[in-house]
Structure 1
Amino acid sequence: MNIDDAVTGHTLSDIPKLRILLSIPAAEFNAFIPAATRTALDELGHVTSIAPSDLQSPGAFARAAFDADVFITAWGFPKLDADRLSLAPNLRCVIHAASSLHALVSDDFWATGIPVSQAGAAMAPAVAELSLAFTLNLLRRINRLDHGLRNGETWDGTRNIRRAREICGARIGVVGASRTGRRYIQACQALGADVRIYDPYVQESDPLAALSTDLESLFATSDVIAVHAPSTPETTGLIGASHLALLPDGAGFINTARSTIVDMDALYTEVSSGRLDAALDVFDLEPLPADDRWRSLPNALLTPHLGGATANSRRRAGLIVVDELRRFLGGLPMEHALTRTDLEKMG
């Protein structure tokens, strides 16, 4: 539906332009806001672009925010507490170009009733794809084979590792039927995997309900476990040593969500023993230190928390921002708006 058509008696050209504070870290600005996206924003409002690092002092924030109707934010933007909100008296809407809002909003912000939206949906396909790549890698033992050939193992010795498996028919367990989890599930099923899930929030009417099981059964019957749950107080420490011990010998464990969900010491014990393989995009300490214990394991595949950071996902996030702004300007509900209750269930 055209936004112009949705606004009774008005077109966007009839509505006064908003004053927009666009604050994206300099290193990511062009990825989120390429030329075409910036042109679209300029058509919707008077845009002032200032990096979050330049808004940290109250004075700098006040000068940039005082006249702004809309904040477009990303990582590093100052937390919107009572003091900051008092410096932005005209603020009517916040659109977060990234995913998690926990570092941005506050009790004071929710009390204002100002609508807030985020572009986390842009990252779901990218994270799901990395998780799928990890799955194929662990099933086919690619990281172990590569490590063996590069580090002095004989040809026959490398070929003699535990036999690889195909994803068709593999038993895949998914912890968390999130946006990302659902994309991952679809991808695995398309390749013939037998998928089961653990997510206490899946309703009986949900098509995924037929795949649901308890956490212990999921671990005991899976060739690969992939974590796609949010990081919340409820999920902190959700996966412990007792769950990991249930995984069959040679199984794989994937985490592209948050390390707080897993007992990382228990996971390290299992992986360093050689019983399990792991593929990790998230860690307790980031950046991962050069001498970190995980770096030395040949059966641990590691990436530096970049699951959602593809060129495609960044462009999608910028387009979501533009679309949300158009909807707000046209008097329509934003598609990715969140409430305080929503945020309590999200990472």
Structure 2
Amino acid sequence: MASADTTRATDVWLPIPATEIDGLPEDLSYVHWDAGPEYPADPARCAFYAVPYMKPADRILKPLPEMANVRVVQTLTAGIEHMLPAVPRLPAGAKLCNARGLHDASTAELTLTLILAALRDIPAFVRSQDAGQWRQGFRDSLADKSVLIVGYGSIGSAIEDRLTPFECARVARIARTARDTVRGPVLPLAELPAMLPDADVVIMATPLTEDTRGLVGADFLARMKDGALLVNIARGGVVDTKALLAELESGRLRAALDVTDPEPLPATHPLWHAPGVLITPHVGGPSTAFLPRAKRLLRDQLRLFAAGEPLRNVITTAG
């Protein structure tokens, strides 16, 4: 790509109207674009591109080849795998930033919802309600269970914060690298095989990378204890769907999935009707918690950008 003429780049493209975000720097020029068919301005004049949220990848990537002077691409998602194909074509020095912290509360809430709903068999109670049937019986409690969180970034930490009142027997943590936290040690990924057999609930909260794609495969699942619950709020590609289906259909494991592979899950896919599975349609992030946090993130990043200070959440720099 030709060297960028940064003197032309003065616009900030926002998926939220600038008038709805308090405290934006006054010396920047704002345009609103939420992945509509028409561009709000010349993409070549865009210096800061805030990527529209929950829009098709082809639509949000479309203007990037024309953004020859862009200096920052800011997603509103924690995962950025959908943006990586565009990085080699960005101007040298352009930074790709994710939205670490934006979805922590909402995703952690959904994680606990999925765990409790799956353990207490809420879907069965809903079906009984629809049928007008009163069916009592004992169900699993989260209390006294051993929980393993695989992926201990800000979302994994937020999940543990919300597990604390539920009197779990133990919460163990696995991440790419070992470290200590105020809640206890985070063990390296190499320790995962040894940790799986003791966990009643295994929560996947990892980013989707070449190292984690298919991480939850046949060997991983075989190490989980009988009756254990797999919860995936990461990305569908972290789990080998065929291997998971085999375990679900045997009745040995249960699963609660906010993400699937493929996604969206086709109406005829057998995962919909597998025994012991609860599925939500990738709704960890979209809740009423999203908009105020998205506005704060964009305001804070643009203040740093306008001041020429280092941005937060920089994942990679083109070049």
Q: Taking structure 1 as the reference length, what is the TM-score of the superposition? A: 0.76
Once the 2 structures are TM-superposed, how far is the Cα of residue 329 of structure 1 from its aligned partner?
Answer: 1.0
Once the 2 structures are TM-superposed, how far is the Cα of residue 222 of structure 1 from its aligned partner?
Answer: 0.9
Letter matched to residue 150 of structure 2: V
String of CA shifts for 1:72-96, please: whole Å, max 9, x gaps: 2224322676x4343x4xx343333
Q: 1:103 to 1:223 in 2, by over 3 A?
A: closer
Once the 2 structures are TM-superposed, how far is the Cα of residue 170 of structure 1 from its aligned partner?
Answer: 1.0
Q: Is the 8 A contact 1:271 1:277 kept in 2?
A: yes
Letter matched to residue 68 of structure 1: C
Match of 1:100 among 64, 79, 96: 79
Residue 332 (str. 1) matches residue 315 (str. 2):
no
- Partners of 1:151 and 1:292 lie apart in 2 by 25
Q: 1:66 to 1:263 in 2, by over 3 A?
A: closer
Letter matched to residue 36 of structure 1: E
- Partners of 1:133 and 1:47 lie apart in 2 by 38
Unaligned 5+ segments in structure 1 are: 1-17, 342-347
Letter matched to residue 134 of structure 1: L
Once the 2 structures are TM-superposed, how far is the Cα of residue 20 of structure 1 from its aligned partner?
Answer: 2.8
Once the 2 structures are TM-superposed, how far is the Cα of residue 247 of structure 1 from its aligned partner?
Answer: 2.4
Match of 1:180 among 150, 155, 165: 155
Q: Is the 8 A contact 2:78 2:99 kept in 1?
A: yes
Once the 2 structures are TM-superposed, how far is the Cα of residue 23 of structure 1 from its aligned partner?
Answer: 4.5
Once the 2 structures are TM-superposed, how far is the Cα of residue 209 of structure 1 from its aligned partner?
Answer: 5.9
Which segment is superposed worse, 277-286 or 205-214?
205-214
Residue 164 (str. 1) matches residue 139 (str. 2):
yes
- Partners of 1:93 and 1:236 lie apart in 2 by 27
Q: 1:288 to 1:260 in 2, by over 3 A?
A: same
- Partners of 2:51 and 2:201 lie apart in 1 by 36
Secondary structure (helix, strand or coil) at the match of 2:172 reads strand
Q: 1:80 to 1:190 in 2, by over 3 A?
A: farther
Q: Match of 2:277?
A: 300
Q: Match of 2:226?
A: 249
Q: 1:51 to 1:308 in 2, by over 3 A?
A: closer
Q: Match of 1:8?
A: none
Q: 1:180 to 1:263 in 2, by over 3 A?
A: same
Q: 1:46 to 1:315 in 2, by over 3 A?
A: same
Q: Match of 1:6?
A: none
When the two chains are superposed, the root-mean-square deviation of aligned CA atoms in Å is: 2.9
- Partners of 2:77 and 2:26 lie apart in 1 by 22
Q: Is the 8 A contact 1:281 1:303 kept in 2?
A: yes
- Partners of 1:53 and 1:255 lie apart in 2 by 31
- Partners of 2:261 and 2:238 lie apart in 1 by 10
Q: Match of 2:214?
A: 237
- 1:1-347 alignment runs, 5 A limit: 19-24=10-15, 29=16, 36-37=20-21, 40-41=23-24, 43-54=26-37, 64-74=42-52, 75=55, 76-78=59-61, 83-86=65-68, 88=69, 91-104=70-83, 105-109=86-90, 112-148=92-128, 150=130, 155=134, 158-159=135-136, 163-193=138-168, 194-203=170-179, 205-207=180-182, 210=185, 212=187, 214-297=191-274, 299-340=276-317
Secondary structure (helix, strand or coil) at the match of 2:60 reads coil
Aligned residue pair count: 300
Q: 1:20 to 1:100 in 2, by over 3 A?
A: farther
Once the 2 structures are TM-superposed, how far is the Cα of residue 183 of structure 1 from its aligned partner?
Answer: 0.9
Letter matched to residue 263 of structure 1: D
- Partners of 1:264 and 1:20 lie apart in 2 by 43
Secondary structure (helix, strand or coil) at the match of 1:226 reads strand
Once the 2 structures are TM-superposed, how far is the Cα of residue 34 of structure 1 from its aligned partner?
Answer: 8.4
Identity of aligned residues (%): 25
Q: 1:197 to 1:73 in 2, by over 3 A?
A: same
Rg comparison, structure with higher value: 1
- Partners of 1:126 and 1:168 lie apart in 2 by 22
String of CA shifts for 1:25-53, please: whole Å, max 9, x gaps: xxxx5xxx58531x544845321223324
Q: Is the 8 A contact 2:44 2:67 kept in 1?
A: no
Once the 2 structures are TM-superposed, how far is the Cα of residue 279 of structure 1 from its aligned partner?
Answer: 0.7
Q: Taking structure 2 as the reference length, what is the TM-score of the superposition? A: 0.82
- Partners of 2:30 and 2:185 lie apart in 1 by 48
Once the 2 structures are TM-superposed, how far is the Cα of residue 196 of structure 1 from its aligned partner?
Answer: 1.2
- Partners of 1:34 and 1:257 lie apart in 2 by 31
Q: Is the 8 A contact 2:251 2:275 kept in 1?
A: no
Q: Match of 1:345?
A: none
